[in-house]
Amino acid sequence: MTDAARVLRTLVERGETLAVAESLTGGLVAAELTSVAGASACFKGSVTAYATHLKRDVLGVDGSLLARRGAVDAEVARQMAAGVRRVLDADWGIATTGVAGPQEQDGRPVGTVYVAVSGPLDVEKVSELRLNGGRAEIRRESVRSVLELLAGELGGNARAQDTEHYGGI
Q: What domains are there in the chain, each with its CATH number?
A: 3-159 (3.90.950.20)
Looking at every residue in the chain, the average pLDDT score rounds to 93
On whether the CB atoms of residues 71 and 26 are closer than 8 A, the answer is: no
DSSP state of 109: P
For residue 98, the SS3 value is: strand
Residue in 29, 65, 34 with CA at minimum distance from that of residue 47: 29
Task: Give the mean model confidence (pLDDT) for residues 60-88.
Answer: 98
pLDDT tens digits, one per residue of 109-129? 999 999 999 999 999 999 999
**Which neighbouring-strand residues pair with 37?**
168
Percent residues over pLDDT 90 in the chain: 90
What distance in Å separates the CA atoms of residue 27 and residue 50, rounded to the nearest whole number? 10
Residue in 109, 112, 107 with CA at minimum distance from that of residue 96: 112
For residue 88, the SS3 value is: coil
Backbone dihedral angles phi then psi of residue 155, each to the nearest 5 degrees: 105, -170
Cα 57 to chain centroid, rounded: 19
- Grade residue 7 by pLDDT with cuts at 50, 70 and 90: very high
Task: Give the mean model confidence (pLDDT) for residues 137-145.
Answer: 98
| pLDDT for res 1 | 86
pLDDT tens digits, one per residue of 36-52? 999 999 999 999 999 99
| pLDDT for res 160 | 39
Task: Give the mean model confidence (pLDDT) for residues 44-70.
Answer: 98
- Other beta carbons less than 10 A from residue 168's beta carbon: 11
Percent residues over pLDDT 70 in the chain: 92
Task: Give the mean model confidence (pLDDT) for residues 18-30.
Answer: 98
What distance in Å separates the CA atoms of residue 166 and residue 70, rounded to the nearest whole number? 41
**What DSSP line would sit under 40-67, residue for residue?**
GGTEEEEEE--SHHHHHHTT---HHHHH
| pLDDT for res 169 | 59
